[in-house]
Amino acid sequence: MRAFFFGLGFSSQAAALALKTAEPGISISGTVRTPEKADALAASADHVHLFDGTAPGPTLGPDLQQASHLILSIAPGTDGDPALLQHRADLEAAQNLQWLCYYSTVGVYGDFGGNWIDETAPLVPRNQRSDRRLSAEQAWRNYAARRGVPLTILRLAGIYGPGRSAFDKLRDGTAHRIVKPDQVFNRIHVADIGRVTALAARQRLDGTFNLADDEPAAPQDLVTHAAKLFGVEPPPAIDFDTADLTPMQRSFYADNKRVSNAAIKRALGIELLYPNYRTGLAAILESEQP
């Protein structure tokens, strides 16, 4: 297996680690935006290439052309998906390409007033970011169909994990308890993203799946629980209507839904490692202990 990642970020690094554990001898290559990130990842990947999406990456062609498994984790721009825009010729030259994976978002569904939804729900995204994701999903479906290659689209809920959790926000003073009545979110631990990606890659899974936890919950509940585990007082509750939020932060609260993960668990025959924020936060805190 030769895996290539467009975007070796938080989720992709977890997937790369899971693939290396499951597939000894696998080749891992991918892209980052800055030389500093390339240096930081030099020990965990065979080749790390610079690619910012605005122009072809000068060095990644040979690795991409040899890829058997391609994981895409770069946000689309106004013109479309950067990998398709800048490296279609290299993709066409990848004659051993066996599987594609695209990391999308549950934001493509829009708002459902807190009701449960699954992959059959209508797609009514509420912002430009999610609109672009939806267009990119279809672009990759079209490409995969033309190549005759299976494609897994994972619609991810809010991602958290070690180094990117409520504990970090409590430490640096940026944690807030924003209260909007009846608002809930799903989340997904980064280790579950890595594990699911590796399992899907090995099975060459085909289809579109939600990847979210079992228990959508109010955002303030997570902060309160993290503070309790951390042994500190939670920040004061702030009413959503009067909260000092940026337009982007406020836009996340426009969608209110409970996202079912039954399809991906059924397809892979698994349960999640961290089915709710309580188990996920407990594991993060334990990993931080000396």
Q: What is the pLDDT of residues 213-224, one digit of tens each?
A: 999 999 999 999
The residues, any chain, with a CB within 8 Å of residue 247's CB and separated by 6 or more, are none
What is the average pLDDT score of the chain? 96
- Which of 255, 253, 222 is closest to 240 using CA atoms? 253
CB burial readout 127-166, b (16+ within 10 A) else e:
bebbebbbebbebbeebbeeeebbbbbbbbbbbbbbeebb
Residues ≥6 apart with Cβ < 8 Å to 20: 26, 28
How does pLDDT run across 34-58, given as a tens digit for each residue? 999 999 999 999 999 999 999 999 9
Write down the pLDDT at residue 289. 83
229 pLDDT band (50/70/90 cuts)? very high
Domains and CATH numbers, the chain: 2-160+188-215+259-273 (3.40.50.720)
**Given a cut of 90, is residue 248 above it in pLDDT?**
no
Tokens standing for residue 84: 């398709």
Counting other chains too, the contacts that 35-39 makes at CB distance below 8 Å and 24 or more residues apart are 37/8
Chain centroid to CA 238: 28
> Are residues 23 and 202 in contact, defined by beta-carbon separation less than 8 angstroms?
yes
Query: Each residue of 143-175: pLDDT tens digit?
Result: 999 999 999 999 999 999 999 999 999 999 999
Q: Is the pLDDT of residue 290 over 80?
A: no
Two structure tokens written together for 88: 């279609």
pLDDT score for 126: 83
Q: Is the pTM of this model over 0.85?
A: yes
> What's the rounded mean pLDDT across residues 73-95?
97
